[in-house]
Chains A and B, each alone.
Chain A
Amino acid sequence: MTTAPLNTPADSAGEPAPFPLEFGIDTFGDRTSDDSGRQTTHAQTIRDGVEQGVLADQVGEDFIGIGEHHTDDFPLSAADVVLAAIAARTTRIHLGSAVTVLSSDDPVRVFQRYSTLNAVSGGRAEVILGRGSSIDSFPLFGYDLADYEDLFEEKTNLFAELLKGGPVTWQGKTRASLHDQDVVPHTESGPFPTWIGVGGSPQSVIRAAHYGFSLMLAIIGGSPTRFAPFSQLFQQALERFDRSPLPVGVHSPGHVAATDERARDEFWPHYLETIRRFSKIRGFAVPTRESFAAEVGPHGALYVGSPETVAQKIAANLTTLGANRFDLKYGMPGLAQSALMTNVELYGTQVIPRVRELLA
């Protein structure tokens, strides 16, 4: 699995080191439905998520990530608690945030929660840090959105200090200073893998390289190939900072079903409904059948289709982007739990082996 080698010297070789292929799934705690189409409660959605995570472990997936959200559609605000429940019923799968909105959280608390998760799971915790594309946490916790850049920079700095282990001395503007502070629980075997999720900000790519965190490219619309320069920027920045190569991952939305037609038919109405709601808040266009077809096609960002279709697309884009990890963001508010379980199962039993075969 990946590691996050902090402060290690760069290899003499200029080529990026090959990292093992890894395949994960991510959820935002999308509100589920039962088989009759009735929306479930927040509590049932969370229990459904635990079952998805347990199944993901059984079918050989490497990682499950939960993206912190704070809305009625995505009622999963305490990801680490759910990850701990999954940890208790699994032995192999890695467990992480996808993402932790660090800008509106306390780095000390985040470290403590994920270090605790690392303990209960026997060293399977990971953290993906984000600056905050899900903006609901800012007013909820009393932060000004205009400060997100400064908040993220400073808090990432502290989080990197905490990951080193040992007493921390730190001073900043966004939280109380620390002086020779021991922060517990200590990890057993060094820092757990930490990534920075990047949606389009080149500064975030530089920041990841600066702190020695891995790079997770969040590609949720448009052509994935336009992110290839970000991967190059990351490698060059790592060299600039005298760091060893680090993994690059891709996070993208999708839905896997037995056939292309079935996957599209299941996914489309809930995608349309969800984006329609977001478009009212954020001002962008409601998708059309045409724009959806483009996103699902070979040059779009959605991985919706049969195991073969999705595997081909993942293999092609991992190659283009120089990435070794793919995390499928599955689900959409309103999709039935049974469809999600089928998605998780097909991804593990068919998509992943097929991508490995294609890239062998």
Chain B
Amino acid sequence: MTSSAASSLPRVAVLGAGHVGPVIARLAIDAGYRVSIAASDDPENIALITQVLVPGAEPRWAADAIENSDLVVLSIPLHKFAAFDPALVAGKLVVDTMNYWPPIDGVREMFEDPAYGSSEIVARRLADSTIVKTLNHLGYHELDDDRRRAGSPDRRALGVAGDDPAAVTVVADFIERIGYDPVRLGSLRAGRLLEPGGPVFGVALRRTEFESALRSEAA
């Protein structure tokens, strides 16, 4: 986790300055990434939050942050997703950290189709983007505490699911660098295993435990 490699690392845009976004942005900064952060409106409104909680990140308008990024982290409240403009992230690699959980969000018609996971529905709407699902199944309050150096015996595993293997590789590397063991899932459809109520949601598991939890559920 050094900053010397910053020039070769993908540039990260975090969309969302609520519970989750600033934490992911801070971890990315610590891992040496160049990070911009955006909310739904004027960056001036999140300037103080950024300065205190994510020193080193640049608050920007969403469109500017996305344009100058290689990897977009989407951490907006799921109920605001219906109003999110797909054109903003067209052609981009988008990391979907969101969850659909009706007891918390209320019922969202758009996500009610039981045949699809929430990230599959996100991917259908963001049809011109490449979607990878990760970081959805641990609490934002655990993100800081649970990261460990590579090789630590208690390093926690995080699932990384997507249909595009090259995109999954980029995101798996991101997960590795911020302090977690990435476990690749071969499709967004398989990413349903990472959802609320699934075998790994909210559970701190090491890689072997994580893989065996996924296997026993999929079996």
Contacts and interface: CB of A to CB of B under 8 A. Distances in A.
A138 B197 CA distance: 22
A69 to B, nearest CB: 15
A175 interface: no
B106 interface: yes
User: How large, as a class, is the contact surface on chain B?
Assistant: 20 to 34
Contacts, number: 76
B144 A229 contact: no
Interface residues of A, number: 30
A201 B52 contact: no
Interface in A284-303: 284-285, 291
A140 to B, nearest CB: 13
Interface string A315-351: 0000000000000000000000000000000000000
Contacts of B108: 146
A237 interface: yes
A200 B52 contact: no
A279 to B, nearest CB: 8
- Provide the main secondary structure of the chain A interface: helix
B76 to A, nearest CB: 11
A295 to B, nearest CB: 11
B142 A222 contact: yes
Nearest to A233: B52
Interface in A134-160: 135, 138, 144-146, 149
Contact of B201 (A146, A149, A230, A285): A285
A233 B108 CA distance: 33
B48 A233 contact: yes
Nearest to B47: A240
Contact of B52 (A144, A145, A146, A236): A236
A222 B48 contact: no
Interface of A: 135, 138, 144-146, 149, 199-203, 206, 221-223, 226, 229-230, 232-233, 236-237, 240, 279, 281-285, 291
